[in-house]
Structure 1
């Protein structure tokens, strides 16, 4: 096992503290105070408490680092230091419907050397409070589930593959685009899954549970940690044009070398056909 660094310990401790509160709230989900913030996009009291817990814990540990928060937005820190990219409750809709599949996602992103924006993600934690699984990775040190090394699956035939995705829903995503891709992917694979938490989808690609993943119209906090997990597990993460950005969020294709290449080709072809 790779020796766990101080920053990963800080991240895991914060995630576990927030996750314990999420577990308690999940057990009484029917009593949660829920407010609507958009069509089919709910924010719960649990989400807000989780984010505050993470913010307080991480600020205490690294007081000069900034934050990119799902609920709280951008909080500037020392521009020469990294920032935290946080989703305090990925899978909010699952949570509110009593579906035990959600996660806390935390990533560390470095500033660019030229001082213009943000560069690579160097550390990641995705924590599932229900299963008590901590997926973590550091740049050049591999990806791990607790103390077990993670590797993307070695499957290279689409006919054997289970592919994860996110389906557009009310007010989010391009259903016509997704339908065009699905029409090409579906007949060629063993199965397609939509579980409703992108950070866990990507962690499961890193763990070899899923063979590949595609989705669009996401946010940096949805994919920042998962992207590093996959790359450190030997996989590839790009946008639909094949560009490997520090954080791929508006468009994501992920998988091992063979699966990424095949899925990229299918998506490119399907979108060209749909545009005719």
Structure 2
């Protein structure tokens, strides 16, 4: 943060984000197996009462600390890219905006596949200044504050050192939109699979980005994501020394839906391979 930004103590912002993520994570973990899914926009896009309860819990906690701040949560928004873009646009004038995914990886959660997370970000005038991703299954908390680095288990995170795609472990995700985005994504997978050490598709964009930040993945790309999938992870990657763009190589901002995150070293090669596909 620069000197003239308001400092209601950036500490308290981060502390509240961490507290919310931990409380919500504990709660959703306790509810495993009780979650009957509703179908959101198509049979591949699930939401549960637990998602809604987790978001309510987070919204209420943030509201008690920062009643004047704006809030953008996945559950308050109709499914589909147009609704997401409109919801973000409506909040675009907000000075402080909390951007929350109460369960990133709901499909995993419903199937008891232990790879899901709570993602909480705070943006100040459109720029993410705090990012927290919490994995309740492994009790791993990934935290970043703009200008102050990214941490997991209290240790500073640093992106991996693979210099080329052929040494890289790269992740992606299957888009919910099966008409346009999925066929494009499958072409990208087909192009990249022979060029990388291996590919992973584990089903939580926020955790994939946390893993890029922690050096566990060399890179990650996905299409058709929303602000709440990416905002917290974007800061983790940046603060861990990685690079983040859209799939055309343009800088990340809250409206980006097709993302590429990497250790920085393989970024151009990854972009070029995706573009070819």
TM bucket, shorter chain: 0.7 to 0.9
How much has 1:25 moved relative to structure 2?
0.5
Q: Tell me what 1:7 maps to.
A: 13
CA shift in 2, pair 1:234/1:104, >3 Å: same
8 A contact 2:172–2:221 mirrored in 1: yes
C-alpha distance in 1, partners of 2:19/2:120?
11
Q: Tell me what 2:145 maps to.
A: 138
Q: Tell me what 2:229 maps to.
A: 222
Q: Tell me what 2:159 maps to.
A: 152
C-alpha distance in 1, partners of 2:175/2:94?
37
Q: 1:59 aligns with which of 54, 57, 63?
A: 63
- Partner-residue secondary structure (3-state), 2:171: strand
Question: For 1:61-210, what aligned pairs fall within 5 Å after superposition?
Answer: 61-73=65-77, 79=93, 81-111=95-125, 119-169=126-176, 171=178, 174-210=181-217
Q: Tell me what 1:274 maps to.
A: none
C-alpha distance in 2, partners of 1:110/1:268?
32
Deviates more, 1:180-189 or 1:164-173: 164-173
**1:182-227: CA deviation from partner (whole Å, max 9, x where unpaired):** 2221111110000000000000000000000011100000000101
Q: Tell me what 1:265 maps to.
A: 272
8 A contact 1:136–1:146 mirrored in 2: no
- Partner-residue secondary structure (3-state), 1:107: strand
Q: Tell me what 1:49 maps to.
A: 53
8 A contact 2:177–2:224 mirrored in 1: no
How much has 1:11 moved relative to structure 2?
0.6
C-alpha distance in 2, partners of 1:47/1:139?
28
C-alpha distance in 1, partners of 2:255/2:193?
23
8 A contact 2:36–2:110 mirrored in 1: no
How much has 1:41 moved relative to structure 2?
1.4
CA shift in 2, pair 1:19/1:181, >3 Å: same
Q: 1:17 aligns with which of 13, 23, 39?
A: 23
**1:44-91: CA deviation from partner (whole Å, max 9, x where unpaired):** 111111000000001111110001110113598895631100000000
Could you tell me the TM-score, scaled by structure 2's length?
Answer: 0.88
C-alpha distance in 1, partners of 2:123/2:95?
9
How much has 1:241 moved relative to structure 2?
1.0
Q: 1:35 aligns with which of 12, 34, 38?
A: 38
- Give 5+ residue unaligned stretches, structure 1: 112-118, 271-276
How much has 1:4 moved relative to structure 2?
8.3
**1:144-203: CA deviation from partner (whole Å, max 9, x where unpaired):** 113100000011121211000012356475223112212221111110000000000000
RMSD, aligned CA: 2.1
